[in-house]
């Protein structure tokens, strides 16, 4: 299976094209549209989401509601479609594609930024939501949530932080989903922790809004019940962790990806890092085929192959580069100093990016499962 997207932020719409999806699968369009609606939400979103009502139309690859095995294409209309009349951007925004893209392609900034826009992720969410549905039918659950906004963690009470780290590993997918779906920041905190954490997040976003600034954050995605044996050590580009890193890093504004202990592994001794192996006959029919771990510092992947533990991925989103109080830039025509252009934008799109990351992880796992020689 493979997928691609097409479309521009203010063009006619966005397209997701999926090849190699299994035949005979009943596609739940409402579930895909639910994910598209979630992507449009979350605290800190800008004005565009008041205009759009993202929904898919399935153009090809479907017969009587079921996939046919032929290429599927999903179409999402842009209501705010005005690419040809949108004003030119003459002052490239630091942190955005504007400068490097215009130099490379020899075009004005407008057509470059229109394709680079994070609106493209609507198409990825649609494709990923289909993948997630298919995984669900095999008992696999992929759930993305927001861990933190801006520098909120630096003032987080140490005891509460430890309590959260302990309980998050005990949550099953349905508990995680119900917490996440009840939060305007798409977090996974218990009610008692959420109250002060989300107040802090709101304060950070509101402060950035007032200051004409923007904020990023930290996202986590967990994939439960992925069978042992997905991915392969035999070739570098078959490694599941490598595929995950590439696909998550390809999401707009993501600057860091880690799996399991991730960067903290660098300062951890081997004896504390690696997850001791046990065997329990009673778990033989579960994802781990009985080979259980009490810890999961590997984040569910060893040697590029899933080991039956929950796959745990985190990614860091940078603050969006379009800011009401802009940084210094140049004038693209005269090369003289000026301020970067400001256009309508989000102040914080971390909750939306958690929806994107969840669905991108789902399609990455499904691709690996379907394309894997080992047919787990």
User: Of the candidates 117, 144, 129, which has an alpha carbon nearest to the alpha carbon of residue 36?
Assistant: 129
Stretch that binds ligand EPS, among 12-20, 150-158, 273-281, 339-347 (CB under 6 A): 339-347
Please, which residue, 46 or 326, has the CB nearer to ligand EPS?
Answer: 46
Residue 200 within binding range of ligand EPS, rule CB under 6 A: no
CA–CA separation, 167 and 129 (whole Å): 27
CA–CA separation, 119 and 240 (whole Å): 27
User: Of the candidates 313, 312, 274, which has an alpha carbon nearest to the alpha carbon of residue 294?
Assistant: 274
Distances in Å between the Cα of 299 and the Cα atoms of 37, 66, 165, 186, 273 are 29, 34, 14, 21, 11
Residue 346 within binding range of ligand EPS, rule CB under 6 A: yes
Backbone phi and psi for residue 51, each to the nearest 5 degrees, phi listed first: -90, -40
Applying CB under 6 A, among 56, 287, 311, 320 the residue interacting with ligand EPS is: 320
Residue 8 within binding range of ligand EPS, rule CB under 6 A: no
CA–CA separation, 178 and 313 (whole Å): 20
Please, which residue, 254 or 320, has the CB nearer to ligand EPS?
Answer: 320
Query: 287: Cβ–Cβ under 8 A, 6 or more apart, which residues?
Result: 225, 226, 227, 228, 308
Please, which residue, 7 or 304, has the CB nearer to ligand EPS?
Answer: 7
First to last CA, the chain: 16
Please, which residue, 109 or 171, has the CB nearer to ligand EPS?
Answer: 109
Please, which residue, 16 or 141, has the CB nearer to ligand EPS?
Answer: 16
DSSP 240-277: HHHHHHHHHHTSTTEEEEEETTGGGGGGS-HHHHS--E
Residue 82 within binding range of ligand EPS, rule CB under 6 A: no
Tokens representing 199 are: 């107040």
Please, which residue, 329 or 345, has the CB nearer to ligand EPS?
Answer: 345
Task: State in angstroms the smallest separation of the CB of 122 from ligand EPS.
Answer: 6
Backbone phi and psi for residue 66, each to the nearest 5 degrees, phi listed first: -115, 150
Contact in structure between 348 and 211 (CB atoms under 8 Å): no
Applying CB under 6 A, among 38, 48, 147, 179 the residue interacting with ligand EPS is: 48
Please, which residue, 260 or 351, has the CB nearer to ligand EPS?
Answer: 351
SS3 35: helix
Residue 12 within binding range of ligand EPS, rule CB under 6 A: no
Task: State in angstroms the smallest separation of the CB of 9 from ligand EPS.
Answer: 5
Footprint (CB under 6 A) of ligand EPS, residues 294-313: none
- Cα angle vertex 13, ends 11, 15, to 5°? 125
Residue 80 within binding range of ligand EPS, rule CB under 6 A: yes
Task: State in angstroms the smallest separation of the CB of 30 from ligand EPS.
Answer: 20
Please, which residue, 9 or 187, has the CB nearer to ligand EPS?
Answer: 9
Contact in structure between 118 and 360 (CB atoms under 8 Å): no
Q: How many residues bind ligand EPS (CB under 6 A)?
A: 14
User: Of the candidates 90, 213, 215, which has an alpha carbon nearest to the alpha carbon of residue 98?
Assistant: 90
Applying CB under 6 A, among 12, 79, 161, 344 the residue interacting with ligand EPS is: 344
Footprint (CB under 6 A) of ligand EPS, residues 109-128: 117-119, 122
Residue 46 within binding range of ligand EPS, rule CB under 6 A: yes
Applying CB under 6 A, among 9, 73, 148, 306 the residue interacting with ligand EPS is: 9
Footprint (CB under 6 A) of ligand EPS, residues 247-266: 252
Give the interface with ligand EPS as residue ranges (CB under 6 A): 9, 46, 48, 80, 117-119, 122, 252, 320, 344-346, 349
């Amino acid at each position: 299976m493979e997928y691609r997207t097409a479309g521009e932020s203010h063009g006619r719409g966005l397209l997701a094209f999926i090849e190699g999806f299994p035949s005979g699968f009943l596609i739940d369009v409402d579930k895909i549209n639910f994910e598209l609606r979630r992507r449009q939400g979350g605290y800190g979103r800008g004005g565009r989401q008041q205009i759009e009502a993202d929904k898919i139309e399935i153009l090809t690859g479907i017969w009587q509601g079921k996939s046919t095995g032929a290429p599927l294409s999903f179409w999402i209309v842009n209501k705010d479609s005005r690419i040809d009349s949108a004003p030119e951007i003459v002052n490239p925004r630091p942190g955005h594609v504007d400068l490097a893209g215009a130099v490379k392609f020899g075009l004005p900034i407008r057509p470059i930024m229109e394709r680079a826009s994070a609106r493209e992720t609507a198409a990825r969410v649609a494709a990923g939501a289909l993948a997630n549905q298919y995984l669900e039918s095999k008992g696999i659950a992929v759930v993305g949530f927001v861990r933190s906004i801006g520098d909120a963690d630096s003032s987080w009470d140490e005891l509460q932080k430890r309590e959260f780290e302990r309980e998050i590993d005990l949550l099953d997918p349905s508990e995680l989903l119900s917490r996440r779906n009840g939060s305007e920041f798409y977090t996974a905190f218990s009610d008692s922790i959420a109250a002060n954490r989300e107040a802090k997040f709101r304060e950070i976003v509101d402060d950035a809004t007032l200051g004409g600034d923007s904020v990023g954050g930290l996202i986590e995605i967990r994939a439960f019940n992925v069978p042992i044996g997905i991915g392969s050590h035999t070739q570098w580009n078959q490694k599941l962790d490598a595929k995950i890193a590439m696909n998550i890093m390809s999401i707009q504004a993501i600057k860091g990806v880690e799996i399991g202990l991730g960067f903290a592994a660098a300062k951890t001794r081997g004896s504390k890092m690696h997850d001791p192996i046990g065997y329990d006959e009673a778990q033989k029919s579960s994802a781990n085929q009985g080979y259980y771990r009490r810890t999961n510092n590997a984040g569910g992947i060893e040697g590029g192959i899933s080991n039956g533990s929950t796959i745990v991925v985190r990614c860091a989103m940078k603050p969006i580069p379009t800011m009401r109080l802009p940084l210094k830039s140049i004038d693209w025509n005269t090369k003289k100093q000026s301020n970067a252009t400001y256009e309508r934008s989000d102040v914080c799109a971390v909750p939306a990016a958690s929806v994107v990351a969840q669905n991108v992880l789902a399609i990455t796992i499904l691709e690996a499962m379907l394309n894997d020689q080992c047919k787990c």
